[in-house]
Amino acid sequence: MGLLSSNTRLDKLEDLFLHELEDLYDAEKRLTKALPLMMEAAKNPKLKMGFEQHLRETEGQIARLERIFDMINRKPERETCDAMKGLIAEGNEAINARGNDDVRDAALIAAAQRVEHYEIAGYGTLRTFAKTLGMHEAATLLQQTLDEEEATDKKLTEIAVSIVNPRAEMA
Ligand code: FE
Ligand code: FE
Ligand code: FE
């Protein structure tokens, strides 16, 4: 999540739920800008397609978050996600690096998996808060996104282990 500013008030679990929702909303919005650059930088076609597919999924994930804002009668607002800013900055290092294509692809995967793990932590927490608060429809939507993030993480591992890392090792 973003840094809680000194004037953030967390009196109820609903307050924390909203704070985390706004943080993930910001994180996903940032990813829709970052993923096209990852896609462009990737040399392996499977990796490129994987980023492209996850960009489309990310757009759907943003729509789910907007539905949840709607359920709690709030306008979608962004709370700066400092962690995602940092993870994207690390991804940019991989994007801008020179060198061997396969080693660079391995670096893109390493950065992308850090992003997925952050999202998995965030969505897992938010889904569990939703369940606790009796927001079953929201919990279902958050679980769908969590499943997508986990599947993306697994797919990245598969591409790394089966193709990219062995090729990078030969560089
Ligand atoms: Fe965050
Ligand atoms: Fe996402
Ligand atoms: Fe993701």
- pLDDT digit string, tens, across residues 127-148: 999 999 999 999 999 999 999 9
Distance in Å, CA 70 to ligand 3 centroid:
22
* Separation of CA 170 and ligand 2 centre (Å): 32
- Is residue 8 over pLDDT 90? no
Of all ligands present, the nearest one to the C-alpha of 28 is 2
Domain 13-166: which CATH number of 1.20.1260.10, 1.20.140.10, 3.30.420.130, 1.10.1060.10: 1.20.1260.10
Among the bound ligands, name the one nearest to the CA of residue 22.
Answer: 1
**What is the whole-number distance in angstroms between the Cα of residue 47 and the centre of ligand 3?**
14
The rounded Å distance from CA 53 to ligand 1 centre is 23
For residue 13, pLDDT over 90 is answered with yes
In the block, which residue shows the tokens 């994987």? 50
pTM: 0.95
Centre of ligand 2 to C-alpha 37, Å, is: 16
pLDDT reported for residue 76: 98
Structure tokens belonging to residue 29: 């919005």
Residue 10 pLDDT > 90: yes
Q: Is the pLDDT of residue 1 over 60?
A: no
Please report, for the chain, the start and end positions of each structural domain, with discontinuous segments joined by +.
Answer: 13-166
Q: Report which bound ligand comes closest to the CA of 116.
A: 3
pLDDT of residue 7: 74
- Confidence (pLDDT) at 3: 61
Sorted by sequence, the CB contacts under 8 Å of residue 32 that are 6+ apart come out as 55, 58, 59, 62
User: For the chain, how many helices (H) and strands (E)?
Assistant: 6, 0
Q: pLDDT tens, 61-111?
A: 999 999 999 999 999 999 999 999 999 999 999 999 999 999 999 999 999
**Model pLDDT for residues 40-59, shown as the tens digit of each residue:** 999 999 999 999 999 999 99
Which pLDDT does position 85 carry in this prediction? Answer: 98
